[in-house]
């Protein structure tokens, strides 16, 4: 069989191979929480042996989807960058139309509901919380969403007023839309999305639920989101 004349075809095929495994897919989805995980933690999450997940992680690192770092005896892996996170979240949105299958157990249903209400998508907020924040910013003139995502001058000043100034000179987009796989709409990502996520965690307005990506808004957070962005109860 003749080789493809399309120069990008081999790399696309290699990427598809990396993603075409349920264990590797489970690891990538778990790492969308933006944190570094050990192989043992990912093995328990995926329900496979540590030796099995180590082999898969090696392939993902070699393929450029994961980055690894070592601290003493421990090896940690995380998503290589925001572009990889965008790829994984986008594929999840495409692969799980309409929000996915009905959970088989009450525990799974509760976990799914929590993820739908609010979660992190790599380094920014997602779920109903992420959409509500995005809508609130747009309604208050901080964010434009009519022709792509872009912060207004008022939006830049708003971040500065929060004590969360933005790095406007880097290569990463200041604001961009990221397709939310449960809400089927774009939430705020990019430099602004990451800065807001860091701010609300550091301020105690949002906290994680267990070891999953799900988050919940605290009492103080409900007041903050209501006063600043008009976000009501989720």
**169: phi then psi, degrees, rounded to nearest 5:** -105, 5
Evaluate if residue 207 carries a pLDDT over 80: yes
From the list 40, 1, 41, 48, the residue with the least C-alpha distance to 23 is 48
Evaluate if residue 104 carries a pLDDT over 70: no
From the list 121, 101, 234, the residue with the least C-alpha distance to 180 is 121
Evaluate if residue 111 carries a pLDDT over 70: no
Report the pLDDT value the prediction gives residue 129, as an integer from 0 to 100.
96
The domain defined by 9-80 folds into Arc Repressor Mutant, subunit A (1.10.10)
Q: How far apart are CA 125 and CA 34, in angstroms?
A: 11
Report the pLDDT value the prediction gives residue 61, as an integer from 0 to 100.
94
Q: What's the pLDDT tens digit per position in 124-181?
A: 999 999 999 999 999 999 999 988 899 999 999 999 999 998 988 888 889 999 888 7
Report the pLDDT value the prediction gives residue 170, as an integer from 0 to 100.
80
Share of the chain above pLDDT 70, in %: 91
3-class SS letters over 35-77? CCEEHHHHHHHHCCCHHHHHHHHHHHHHCCCEEEEEECCEEEE
* Domain limits, the chain: 9-80, 84-229
Report the pLDDT value the prediction gives residue 153, as an integer from 0 to 100.
95
Confidence of residue 7 (pLDDT cuts 50, 70, 90): confident
**Is the CB of residue 191 less than 8 Å from the CB of residue 123?**
no
Assigned token pair, 121:
């998508």
Confidence of residue 232 (pLDDT cuts 50, 70, 90): confident
Return all residues near 90 (Cβ < 8 A) that are at least 6 apart.
178, 179
From the list 221, 224, 232, 152, the residue with the least C-alpha distance to 192 is 152
Evaluate if residue 102 carries a pLDDT over 70: no
| Residue with the larger pLDDT of the pair 26 and 179 | 26
Q: What's the pLDDT tens digit per position in 85-97?
A: 888 888 887 776 5
Average pLDDT, the chain: 87
Q: How far apart are CA 5 and CA 91, in angstroms?
A: 26
Evaluate if residue 184 carries a pLDDT over 60: yes
Q: What's the pLDDT tens digit per position in 8-20?
A: 888 889 999 999 9
Q: Which of 59-68, 78-87, 93-102, 108-117 has the lowest mean pLDDT?
A: 93-102
Q: How far apart are CA 78 and CA 97, in angstroms?
A: 26
- pTM over the 0.95 mark: no
Q: How far apart are CA 197 and CA 12, in angstroms?
A: 32
Tokens 């990019």 belong to 190
Q: Which of 70-79, 103-112, 184-193 has the lowest mean pLDDT?
A: 103-112
């Amino acid at each position: 069989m003749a080789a493809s004349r399309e120069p990008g075809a081999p790399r696309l095929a290699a990427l598809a191979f990396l993603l075409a495994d349920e264990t590797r897919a489970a690891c990538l989805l778990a790492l969308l929480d933006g944190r570094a995980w050990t192989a043992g933690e990912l093995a328990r999450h995926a329900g496979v042996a540590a030796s099995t997940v180590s082999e898969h992680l090696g392939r993902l690192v070699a393929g450029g989807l994961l980055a690894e770092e070592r601290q003493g005896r421990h090896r940690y892996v995380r998503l290589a960058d925001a572009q990889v996170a965008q790829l994984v979240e986008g594929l999840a949105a495409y692969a799980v139309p309409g929000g996915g299958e009905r959970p088989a157990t009450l525990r799974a249903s509760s976990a799914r509901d929590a993820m739908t209400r609010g979660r992190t998508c790599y380094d920014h907020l997602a779920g109903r919380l992420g959409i509500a924040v995005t809508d609130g910013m747009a309604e208050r003139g901080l964010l434009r969403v009519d022709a792509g995502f872009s912060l207004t001058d008022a939006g830049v000043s708003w971040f500065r007023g929060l004590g969360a100034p933005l790095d406007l000179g880097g290569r990463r987009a200041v604001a961009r839309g990221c397709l939310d796989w449960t809400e089927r709409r774009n939430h705020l990502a990019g430099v602004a999305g990451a800065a807001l996520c860091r701010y609300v965690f550091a301020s105690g307005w949002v906290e994680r639920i267990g070891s999953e990506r799900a988050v919940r808004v605290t009492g103080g957070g409900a007041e903050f989101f209501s006063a600043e962005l008009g976000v009501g109860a989720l």
